[in-house]
Amino acid sequence: MTPRRIGILVFDQFQLLDAAGPVSAFEIGGRYRPGAYAIETISRSGGPISSSSGVTLGSRPFTADDRFDTLILSGGEGTRGPAICDETLTFVRDAARQTRRLASVCSGAYILAQAGLLDGRRATTHWARTDHFRRTYPKVKLEPDRIFVRDGPVWTSAGITAGIDLSLALIGEDLGEDVARKTAQQLVVYHRRPGGQSQFSALLDMEAGGRFDPLLAWMRENLRRPLTVPDLAEQAGMSERTFLRAFAAEVGFTPAKAVERLRLEAARALLDNQPLQVEDIALETGFGDSERMRRAFLRAFGQPPQALRRSATALVLP
């Protein structure tokens, strides 16, 4: 077996885990198929490259003669440098023509986008960079809530640990899902994260260590109930007026909006992971009917449930 060459591109002030996560995943995956991978860390200048943590990683200079099976671009605060480096951008553009797959972790997507390789493609990056990325690269079809996105031979992933999710999917494509699953077990991570590919947790967004955290957890466990204001106020042990005022002030959402966000999160997870009909998911998550759920999805995600289900399926299939 000829090893698949995996190139990991780093630069000054890269995020260490953006590179170390994929390196570890491919190294462990290769244990189950000896000779499957040859991993190389590359940079523009070569030599030890300092990460944002101060820890250095050895590398060799990339060259125009490099031929990788898969090239992965790390991210981090240092992406501003390579994103304006003509030599790096030329290398990445050439690699796009010569490699089987091109991938980025976190803000490494900025380098791909600056090279013009994401124009017209679906992609993702760290959720905190969504607004800036969209303004800077309007031609990219950004999907900000995804852990990773595949569009043809180009793969992009969200922040930091998502590089491991991405690598497991690449390993699954190369060596089969059984090897990817065993690799995940060795790494002590999920083979496929619960809740599908979403970066966000509505409950975590709303929890603030305050008095309504138990109520929010109860709401999530009882989404099939009506969850009206009187119901929630009673559960919280408050009058309706006091509850409405205090909940909005502490949680940052009205009770109705909080209920909708929790239902959307639950419905999204079921769409990604369960073979249920959309109508059944609407009932299971408390929307009541599929049309009401469809309208909520359009408000939140800009797409109906069926489109998001097709998208999620496409992300994990070759």
The pLDDT, as a whole number, for residue 201 is 63
Is residue 315 very low, low, confident or very high in pLDDT (cuts 50, 70, 90)?
Answer: very low
Residue 309: Cβ within 10 Å count: 18
| Rounded Cα–Cα distance for residues 16 and 55 (Å) | 8
* CATH architecture assigned to 202-316: Orthogonal Bundle (1.10)
Place of tokens 């124009």: 119
Is residue 145 very low, low, confident or very high in pLDDT (cuts 50, 70, 90)?
Answer: confident
How are beta strands 49-50 and 56-57 bridged, if at all? antiparallel
Is residue 253 very low, low, confident or very high in pLDDT (cuts 50, 70, 90)?
Answer: confident
**Which residues are annotated as catalytic?**
106
Is residue 312 very low, low, confident or very high in pLDDT (cuts 50, 70, 90)?
Answer: low
Q: What is the mean pLDDT of residues 204-231?
A: 86
Q: For residue 316, is pLDDT > 60?
A: no
Query: In one letter, which amino acid is 98?
Result: Q
Q: What is the mean pLDDT of residues 190-207?
A: 61
The pLDDT, as a whole number, for residue 189 is 83
| Rounded Cα–Cα distance for residues 11 and 200 (Å) | 28
| Rounded Cα–Cα distance for residues 68 and 193 (Å) | 28
From residue 276, how far is each of 17, 271, 303 by CA, in Å? Answer: 36, 7, 18
Is residue 94 very low, low, confident or very high in pLDDT (cuts 50, 70, 90)?
Answer: very high
Angle at 203 between CA 258 and CA 308, to 5 degrees: 80
Stated pTM of the model: 0.69
Is residue 318 very low, low, confident or very high in pLDDT (cuts 50, 70, 90)?
Answer: very low
User: Which CATH class, in words, describes the domain spanning 4-187?
Assistant: alpha beta
Q: For residue 112, is pLDDT > 50?
A: yes
Spell out the domain ranges in the chain.
4-187, 202-316
The pLDDT, as a whole number, for residue 113 is 98
The pLDDT, as a whole number, for residue 273 is 60
The pLDDT, as a whole number, for residue 269 is 78
The pLDDT, as a whole number, for residue 146 is 81
The pLDDT, as a whole number, for residue 274 is 61
Across all residues in the chain, what is the average pLDDT?
Answer: 90
Q: For residue 213, is pLDDT > 70?
A: yes
Q: For residue 174, is pLDDT > 90?
A: yes
Q: What is the mean pLDDT of residues 95-105?
A: 97
Q: For residue 194, is pLDDT > 80?
A: no
Q: For residue 282, is pLDDT > 80?
A: yes
Query: In one letter, which amino acid is 32?
Result: Y
